Structure 1
Amino acid sequence: MSMATDTDLSSPIANLTLQDPRCSNDTCLAYAEAHAASQAAVSWYFQFEYGHWTTWLYLALIGVYTLAHCYRLFGSTRHRVAQSKSHWTNTFVSYPLAAYRSIAYRRFRGRLFDSLGLPSVGILLFLLLAFIFAIAATFAVQPYYREHRGFGSPPIAIRTGVMATACTPVLFALAGKANFITWLTGYGHEKLNVFHRYIAWICFFLSIVHTIPFIVAPLNEGGFAALTTQFYQPGGYEYTGVPPLAMLFGLVILSIPWIRHRLYETFWHLHIILAILYLALMFWHTDQEQDSWVYLWASLALLLGQTFVRLFHYNQAFNLRNQWLTGSTTSISVLSGQTLLLKIGCPSHFTWRPGQHCYIRFPKLGIWHNHPFTIANAHQLQSGKTAKTIQILVRSNGDFTRSLLDLADSRDDAQIVTILDGPYGGYRYEIGRTHHDMILVAGGAGVSACIPWLQHIVRQSSKDVDRADILRQITLIWMVRRIEHTTWQSSEILQTLFEAAGILIKIKVHVTNDAQVQEDDSPNENYKDIEEPKSRAITEEDTLFERSEVELHYGRPRLSILLASMIQNDKTFVLGEYIALDPCLIDYLLSEITACGPESLKIDVSNACAALQSRVLAGAVREVKLHTETFGW
Structure 2
Amino acid sequence: MTSVSRYMSYRGYQFPMLKYWSPSLGVTMLGVVGAILFLAMTLGPKPYYWPTDASYGSSPPIATRAGWMALALLPFVLGLSVKANMISVLTSIPHEKLQIFHHWTSYAMFLLALIHTFPFIIYHIDKGDMVKQWKTSLVYWTGIGAIIPQAYLTIMSLPFIRNRFYEFFKATHMIAAVVFIVFFFLHCDFRLSSWDYFIASGIIYFLCLSFSQVRTYLMHGIHTATLELLPSGLARVSVPTVIKWTPGQHVFVRFLTPDLHLLTAHPFTISSVYRDPDQAGKAPELAFYIKPRRGVTARLAALAAKQTGITKKILIEGPYGGVSTHHMSQFDTILVIAGGSGGGFSLAMVDEALRVSGLHTGEDESGQESRRRLQVVFSTRDTPMADWYIDEIESRLSQSTTLPGSDNGFETSVSVHITSKPDLTRSTSTLDSEKGTAGKLPPTDITTTGSFSLNIYRNARPDIPGLVARTVAMAHANPMPNGKKQRIGVLVCGPASMLHDTRNAAALAQKRTFGGEIEELYLHSESFA
Residue 129 of structure 2 is matched in structure 1 by: 226
Alignment deviations for residues 391-411 of structure 1 (CA, whole Å, 9 cap, x no partner): 111122234333323322333
Contact 1:510-1:556 within 8 A present in 2 as well: no
Q: 1:608 aligns with which of 496, 505, 508?
A: 505
User: What letter is aligned with 1:553?
Assistant: I
* Counterparts of residues 254-269 of structure 1 (less than 5 Å): 254-269=156-171
Contact 1:433-1:471 within 8 A present in 2 as well: no
Q: 2:29 aligns with which of 100, 125, 130?
A: 125
Deviation at 1:113, TM superposition (A): 4.4
Distance in 2 between residues matched to 1:338 and 1:383, nearest whole Å? 34
Contact 1:343-1:390 within 8 A present in 2 as well: yes
Residue 150 of structure 2 is matched in structure 1 by: 248
Q: 1:560 aligns with which of 434, 442, 465?
A: 465
Residue 105 of structure 2 is matched in structure 1 by: 199
User: What letter is aligned with 1:504?
Assistant: F
Residue 339 of structure 1 is matched in structure 2 by: 234
Residue 527 of structure 1 is matched in structure 2 by: none
Residue 382 of structure 1 is matched in structure 2 by: 277
Residue 334 of structure 2 is matched in structure 1 by: 438
Matched, 1:474 2:371: no
Distance 1:448 1:282, change over 3 A: same
User: What letter is aligned with 2:50?
Assistant: R
Distance in 2 between residues matched to 1:441 and 1:203, nearest whole Å? 38
Of 498-507 and 147-156, deviating more is 498-507
Contact 2:492-2:526 within 8 A present in 1 as well: no
Distance in 2 between residues matched to 1:493 and 1:399, nearest whole Å? 35
Distance 1:249 1:541, change over 3 A: farther
Residue 495 of structure 2 is matched in structure 1 by: 598
Distance 1:103 1:462, change over 3 A: closer
Residue 458 of structure 1 is matched in structure 2 by: 354
Distance in 1 between residues matched to 2:194 and 2:212, nearest whole Å? 28
Residue 402 of structure 1 is matched in structure 2 by: 298
Distance 1:234 1:472, change over 3 A: same
Say which SS state the counterpart of residue 391 (structure 1) adopts: strand
Contact 1:328-1:345 within 8 A present in 2 as well: yes
Contact 2:362-2:371 within 8 A present in 1 as well: no
User: What letter is aligned with 1:592?
Assistant: G
Contact 1:362-1:419 within 8 A present in 2 as well: yes
Distance 1:388 1:243, change over 3 A: same
* Counterparts of residues 310-349 of structure 1 (less than 5 Å): 310-313=212-215, 315=216, 318-320=217-219, 322=221, 327-346=222-241, 348=242
Say which SS state the counterpart of residue 567 (structure 1) adopts: helix
Larger C-alpha radius of gyration, 1 or 2? 1
Alignment deviations for residues 503-527 of structure 1 (CA, whole Å, 9 cap, x no partner): 32423222223525xxxxxxxxxxx
Contact 2:229-2:308 within 8 A present in 1 as well: no
Residue 178 of structure 2 is matched in structure 1 by: 276
Distance 1:564 1:257, change over 3 A: same
Distance 1:488 1:300, change over 3 A: farther
Deviation at 1:474, TM superposition (A): 2.4
Residue 33 of structure 1 is matched in structure 2 by: none
Say which SS state the counterpart of residue 129 (structure 1) adopts: helix
Deviation at 1:493, TM superposition (A): 4.1
Distance 1:467 1:245, change over 3 A: farther
* Counterparts of residues 415-564 of structure 1 (less than 5 Å): 415-428=311-324, 430-464=326-360, 468=364, 472-481=372-381, 482=383, 483-487=386-390, 489-490=392-393, 491-496=395-400, 501=407, 503-515=409-421, 536-539=427-430, 547-554=450-457, 555-564=460-469
Matched, 1:351 2:251: no
Distance 1:467 1:274, change over 3 A: farther
TM-score, length basis structure 2: 0.84
Deviation at 1:419, TM superposition (A): 2.6
Say which SS state the counterpart of residue 183 (structure 1) adopts: helix
Say which SS state the counterpart of residue 314 (structure 2) adopts: strand
Contact 2:374-2:412 within 8 A present in 1 as well: yes
Contact 1:191-1:629 within 8 A present in 2 as well: no
Q: 1:216 aligns with which of 122, 125, 129?
A: 122
Alignment deviations for residues 352-380 of structure 1 (CA, whole Å, 9 cap, x no partner): 11111112223343324632111111111
Deviation at 1:557, TM superposition (A): 1.6
Q: Can you give the 5+ residue segments of structure 1 that lack an aligned partner in the other structure?
A: 1-92, 517-531, 573-588
Distance in 2 between residues matched to 1:194 and 1:446, nearest whole Å? 22
Alignment deviations for residues 264-287 of structure 1 (CA, whole Å, 9 cap, x no partner): 111012211111111111211111
Deviation at 1:435, TM superposition (A): 3.5
Matched, 1:373 2:268: yes
RMSD over aligned CA atoms reads 3.1
Deviation at 1:449, TM superposition (A): 1.4
Distance in 1 between residues matched to 2:185 and 2:352, nearest whole Å? 49
Of 618-627 and 303-312, deviating more is 618-627
Contact 1:336-1:484 within 8 A present in 2 as well: no
Of 478-487 and 541-550, deviating more is 541-550
Distance in 1 between residues matched to 2:508 and 2:424, nearest whole Å? 34
- Give the number of the structure whose residues are more often strand, by fraction: 2
Q: 2:287 aligns with which of 377, 386, 391?
A: 391
Residue 154 of structure 1 is matched in structure 2 by: 60
User: What letter is aligned with 2:491?
Assistant: T
Deviation at 1:170, TM superposition (A): 0.2
Distance in 2 between residues matched to 1:259 and 1:179, nearest whole Å? 26
Contact 2:325-2:356 within 8 A present in 1 as well: no
How high is the sequence identity, in percent, across the aligned residues? 26
User: What letter is aligned with 1:475?
Assistant: Q
Q: Can you give the 5+ residue segments of structure 2 that lack an aligned partner in the other structure?
A: 441-447, 479-485
TM-score, length basis structure 1: 0.71
Deviation at 1:415, TM superposition (A): 2.9
